[in-house]
A and B are shown apart, each in its own frame.
Chain A
Amino acid sequence: DAKTTQPNSMESNEEEPVHLPCNHSTISGTDYIHWYRQLPSQGPEYVIHGLTSNVNNRMASLAIAEDRKSSTLILHRATLRDAAVYYCILTGSGGSNYKLTFGKGTLLTVNP
């Protein structure tokens, strides 16, 4: 299975943009890139996902490298409520679509 690598922790200041990196050098052509986050004492929640093109939604943007070996989750203006653990996950397609394997993620601290 393809693995992801994320920094253990990152820090940001409130109202500044945050770029959370994820490396997935062994990604297959049909793997989707998903991001989830886990707020303190809560279950993970979906943030965004993409395959090849950059994606935007109300929560964040996902920038995917042209070779797909890395991606970056972008929070345009961090707030204190964005302090969480962010997980980058690869999900297969077709017969392996069910797979949803988490790593340790990146702990994001947002300073006021």
Chain B
Amino acid sequence: NAGVTQTPKFRVLKTGQSMTLLCAQDMNHEYMYWYRQDPGMGLRLIHYSVGEGTTAKGEVPDGYNVSRLKKQNFLLGLESAAPSQTSVYFCASRKVMTGGLNTEAFFGQGTRLTVV
């Protein structure tokens, strides 16, 4: 069971460079999320998606873009990286609630991004 896989696991960027983080899930989940976590902090929601082709802003969306062209993939893009975007990024997926049953989220192992 692969679950939620994040690529890459580590990356160092120079200020102004761009990159895309890939999140892939093999559980056919409808909901997908991107979070960032800074030292000593909880997870803050960047963007989320409730289904293929739909995305929405979370708490801290500035400087990031996302796309969900396929149900199993959720991409997070940094168009012009800044040192303030140095963080650990986590992706999560979750099945939509059905039949009155609430569902749990599954998380990837994280991408550690450093912007210098």
Task: State whether the Cβ of A51 lies closer than 8 Å to any Cβ in chain B.
Answer: yes
When distances are taken between beta carbons in the complex, the residues of chain A under 8 Å from B86 are none
A105-B107 contact in complex given A97-B97, A100-B92, C-beta closer than 8 Å:
no
Find chain A residues with CB under 8 A from B92 CB: 43-44, 100
Smallest CB separation, B25 vs chain A (Å): 13
Q: Which residues of A contact B74 (CB under 8 A)?
A: none
- Contact indicator A93/B94 (Cβ below 8 Å): no
**Chain B interface (Cβ < 8 Å from any Cβ of A):** 4, 31, 33, 35, 41-45, 48, 50, 59, 90, 92, 94, 96-97, 102, 104-110
Interface size on A, residues (CB 8 A): 24
CB of B102 within 8 A of CB of A91, answer: yes
Bound CA–CA A36/B105 (angstroms): 9
A29 to chain B, nearest CB (A): 13
